[in-house]
Amino acid sequence: MNPQATITAIDSPSKYWYTATTSYGQQSKGVRLYGTGFKFRVGERVDVFQCGEEYGYAEIPLQYKSQLTIPDAMKAEVARQAPASVALAYIAKLAGNNKVYYVPGTVVSIIDTFYMMVSSTLSTSPLRLMCVINTSAFYVGARVLIMAHPLKTPQVIGWWNCLPEEEPEDKPDWWTDEDEEWWDAGWWGDLPMHRNKTYAIAIGRPPYTADIDIILVDQDFNWIKRNVFYHRNPASNIAFVIIQQTTDENPYYYLRALMGINYGTILEQYWLRVHKQTFVFEELTEAEYPPNPGVGYSITANNLQWQVLPSPSYQAIVTDGFKTFVAFYTGPTLDSWLPVQGWHYNSNDFRS
């Protein structure tokens, strides 16, 4: 098993750093190898990695073994022989494990999702190394920890005593305490959404299928949340959606789904409602399907009309009848676009 440490202080000596006591009594300070997205707790036991006089910590269990790994049967004896003042490198020597070792490196460039170029003492020129963490978490100049082995290709296993770049403030310049209260009360609290982005709902047919999906997307068309209603007739190869306009108070989006063969025969027809927050599809009978809510356009949470403009605009605009601005650029898709429940669509010069 890896040598371990007990976390004794959080954000010490600085933000996102930890103070810990190793299983051999040494006081150590370091960072979490997997970044800042999750915090250790005081009293938590973690795997400890050492490089020189620096330390890093990772969750237990970790598949990447430390150079200080010792057999369980030897642990008590090693601990007895090694007082707190003895370097952990000596413990590694006692354990007879000198094959795996760790070297800090610096990110020179990001190649793709899995690989990066890293400079280190392993080579006079940067090496192309695989990273066990998605490389999108790193940046050029970041320090990383490399696990090396004489018979295996080195790998980057995490940050090394530096921290991810702080995310920029995600509040628009006009953000107020009232806006913050609205944000905190939103149903999207557990979703990766940001104050300075805008969002919309797309309901339509995934390409090359006869299914229907609902997707919450941001303006960069990143998927935030999604669910699919699948066709049932194996002969169906296309689908059409007829959307009903909605008001923010209604907890559901309503739609008819027609599925069939190309642009001719309809084999399936469903009257559906989709919960606006859970995205769960429910089948209704034709008799249960509600009439149009009586609005020509969908209404947003801040009481604006939501209008989708087709080609060549590809925009969803909102208006109060006097002022109008673009709420979302839909792009050239065949999806139906609707406002997110509870979302306030604003601009710098148009506030609700």
- pLDDT digit of tens for each residue in the chain (352 aa)? 457 789 999 988 888 899 998 877 778 899 998 888 778 999 998 888 888 778 888 887 666 655 455 555 555 565 555 544 344 555 555 545 556 678 899 999 999 888 999 999 888 899 999 998 888 888 899 999 998 877 778 999 889 988 777 666 678 878 888 889 999 999 998 888 988 889 999 999 988 899 999 999 998 888 999 999 999 999 999 999 999 999 999 999 999 999 999 877 899 999 999 999 999 999 999 999 998 888 889 999 999 999 998 777 788 899 888 888 888 988 878 899 999 999 999 765 444 4
Q: H or E element: which one contains 298? A: strand 298-299
Q: Which CATH number is associated with domain 99-166?
A: 2.40.50.140
Distant-in-sequence, close-in-space partners of 294: CB < 8 Å, separation ≥ 6: none
Q: Identify the pLDDT of residue 352.
A: 41
Q: Identify the pLDDT of residue 280.
A: 96
Q: Identify the pLDDT of residue 192.
A: 85
Residue 158, sorted as left (phi over 0), alpha (psi -120 to 50) or beta, turns out to be left
Residue 89 identity = A
Q: Identify the pLDDT of residue 73.
A: 58
Q: Identify the pLDDT of residue 22.
A: 81
Distances (CA, A) of 186 to 176, 292, 342: 16, 26, 7
Domain with CATH 2.40.50.140 in the chain: 1-98, 99-166
Fold held by 1-98:
OB fold (Dihydrolipoamide Acetyltransferase, E2P) (2.40.50)
Q: Is 53 helix (H, G, I), strand (E, B) or coil?
A: coil
Question: Residue 170 in contact with residue 194, Cβ under 8 Å?
Answer: yes
Q: Identify the pLDDT of residue 349.
A: 40
Phi then psi for residue 315, to 5 deg, are -135, 150
Helices 88-95 and 72-81, axial angle in degrees (round to 10)? 130
